[in-house]
Amino acid sequence: MKEIALLNYSGGSSRILHVSRDELLPSEAALSVFDGNTAQLFADRDPERSLALPPGESAKNWASVERIINRALAVSMGRDGLIAGIGGGVVTDVTAFAASIYMRGCRLILVPTTLLSMVDAATGGKTGFDFGGVKNLVGSFYTAEEVRICPCMLETLPEREYLSGMAEVLKHAMLTPGPGAGGLLDIVASEKDAILARDAQTLERLIPAAVKVKVDIVSKDLREQGIRAFLNLGHTFGHALEAATNFSRWSHGEAVAWGILRSLDLGVRIGLTDKDWADETRHLIADYGFDIVTPQVAPGEIKAAMVDDKKKKDGRLRFVLMKGPGEPVLQEVPEVDLDAVLGIE
């Protein structure tokens, strides 16, 4: 096991580890939570102490939390017992939530198996499930003692899921200084072919660099009272696109990439974003195959979803915009500029 990063937060710390395939599952007795797909990848799992949820977002619900808690009870797990969540962001979010409430909080290890969960969902302590048609309505902050990452898990990941994670990697890259700083931005800009081919050695550098961007931000602001909001770059637009298309037309990554492009448009339009850098970044995102020309939904519906979402939060139309590489700002924007970027006459 090799340490990728240590997430330090008030109240504790979480170790992010690069492990080999056979170090992924906990060696001690634990309740291991998979989904139907990730369970198939671990023939060596203990059937007595494992549970497979149905794959996909529809399992991110209270019924799954209840199943995990019931099984923990059935195997007489105490408060010092360990729950492991092995899967994509759905499994890691819902398992971490169950661990956060079982006996007021038991031990937790996360084993992310999608690119998105490796670089994003499994790190940073946000847990939860969807409720009443609202994504992540119920949740808690509860940080895993370890996050075990093996890029080898990505070999079986479907292409669209892999690319969905790449959108978050690109987002993290934009939050780093560069180009030329030898960091994540340089890796994504110069090693696209190897990344898209999932070259093992390239992934062993890409994933830790992407994880570190998140860890550095979250270590300073676990509960999103300030800079953690920068990680939402592209998400206000992207989430509205997903909501307006019933979370079925576009993958999360496709929607986020579209959202990042709209954030760049908005920043350039209000004179905040460096235009040359915005153009370079647009090309980089398109090079990775993200290029939604028509979102296949009326711009007014995207705006309505965005306003609805904002009303549920603080009611203000604020966006994460970029001045240049590594320079995010959170800013309110005039509605007329938002309309122009969305293509509303």
Ligand X SMILES: NC(=O)c1ccc[n+]([C@@H]2O[C@H](COP(=O)([O-])OP(=O)(O)OC[C@H]3O[C@@H](n4cnc5c(N)ncnc54)[C@H](O)[C@@H]3O)[C@@H](O)[C@H]2O)c1
Amino acid at 179: P
The residue from 8, 15, 49, 57 that contacts ligand X (CB under 6 A) is 57
169 belongs to the binding site for ligand X (CB under 6 A)? no
136 binds ligand X (CB under 6 A): yes
Query: Where does the chain show beta strands of DSSP type E?
Result: 2-9, 12-18, 31-35, 50-53, 82-87, 107-112, 126-131, 134-141, 146-149, 318-322, 328-332
Please report how the helices 299-312 and 235-244 are oriented relative to each other, as an axis angle in degrees rounded to 10.
110
Helix (H, G, I), strand (E, B) or coil at 77: coil
Binding track, positions 100-119, relative to ligand X; x by CB under 6 A: -------------xx-xx--
Piece in contact with ligand X (CB under 6 A), picked from 25-33, 156-164, 236-244, 281-289? 156-164
Instruction: Output the smallest distance, CB 242 to ligand X, in A.
Output: 10
Closer residue to ligand X in complex, CB, 40/190: 40
Give Cα 190 to chain centroid, integer Å: 23
Q: How far is the CB of 32 from ligand X (least distance, A)?
A: 14
178 binds ligand X (CB under 6 A): no
Tokens 């760049």 — which residue?
Answer: 264
Q: Does residue 153 bind ligand X (CB under 6 A)? A: yes
Stretch that binds ligand X, among 152-160, 219-227, 304-312, 321-329 (CB under 6 A): 152-160
- Which residue bears the tokens 């006459």? 345
DSSP 188-201: HHH-HHHHHTT-HH
> In whole angstroms, how close is the CB of 22 to ligand X at the nearest point?
15
Contact residue for ligand X among 24, 35, 52, 171 (CB under 6 A)? 35
3-class SS at 183? coil
Task: With CB under 6 A as the rule, give the number of residues binding ligand X.
Answer: 30
Tell me the helices (H) and strands (E) count for the chain, helix number first.
Answer: 13, 11
Nearest residue (beta carbon) to ligand X: 89
Tokens of 232: 């939402």
Alpha carbon 178 to chain centroid distance?
Answer: 22
Site for ligand X in 83-102 (CB under 6 A): 87-91, 93
- Whole-number minimum distance, CB 88 to ligand X, in Å? 2
Residues near ligand X, by CB under 6 A: 35, 37-38, 41, 55-57, 60, 87-91, 93, 113-114, 116-117, 120-121, 124, 126, 135-136, 153, 156-157, 161, 164, 252
